Amino acid sequence: MNIRALWLLLVCCGLAHADDQADREQIQKKRETIEAQHAQREQACRQQFVVTPCLEKARTDKQNALRPLNVQEQALDEAKRRERAQAQAQRLSEKAQAAQARDKPEVPKPPKAPQVAEPKAVKPSSPKASAPDRSAIEKKQREAFEARQREIQAHREMVEKRNAERAAKKAPVPLPLPASAVLH
């Protein structure tokens, strides 16, 4: 991405952020106005003889007045999420392009000759590893595997021993029946 495009992106985001902030402030002012009106109506309701229906009406009016503000706020939040997702996708794309350019070989390779089907050989874990390195790696992996198998076997034997001990224990004697349950 060139400098001009980056600058343009930053300016646009800055303007969008300023617009977003102004919209949020306007929504907040409207919300405060509605809250203040609701508080006044609640106070007036408490002066009446029948309070509950008046309070319920004031509450539903407040909810109805706040609903469009909540919708606007959700729309602003969604737009901000989309903007962040787009910026993240752009960053990932640039990062992938940079990695691809970095990994791209400088010297062009000659075209490959058609290969005759050969038996497949086992590929080493790392193409750069030499034969002695591979055998050392395989030896370590084999030793780790065998050690894990020994641990599993020891655990299995311990569990079997514990279960045998539990089975060998005498079952507890049940409590005697209460006198009221015995039939005469």
Question: Which residue, chain included where needed, has tokens 């706040």?
Answer: 66
User: Same domain, yes or no, for 93 and 17?
Assistant: yes
Residue 28, Cα to own-chain centre: how many angstroms?
Answer: 30
What's the structural domain count of the chain? Answer: 2
pLDDT at 127: 53
Compute the distance between CA of residue 65 and CA of residue 31 in angstroms, rounded to an integer.
9
pLDDT tens-digit profile of 111-132? 565 555 544 444 555 555 567 7
Q: What are phi and psi of 104, to 5 degrees?
A: -70, 130
Is 15 part of a structural domain of the chain? yes
Q: Tell me the CB-side half-sphere exposure of residue 142, using CA atoms within 13 A.
A: 6
* Residue range of the domain that includes 155: 132-167
Domain boundary among 86, 103, 120: 103
Q: Computed from CA positions of residues 116, 117, 120, 123, in that sequence, does the dihedral angle turn out positive or negative?
A: positive
Is 118 part of a structural domain of the chain? no
Is 144 part of a structural domain of the chain? yes
User: Same domain, yes or no, for 87 and 146?
Assistant: no
pLDDT tens-digit profile of 155-179? 999 999 999 998 888 777 888 888 8
Q: State the pTM of this model.
A: 0.43
User: Same domain, yes or no, for 88 and 15?
Assistant: yes
User: Same domain, yes or no, for 91 and 149?
Assistant: no
pLDDT tens-digit profile of 11-30? 555 555 678 899 999 999 99
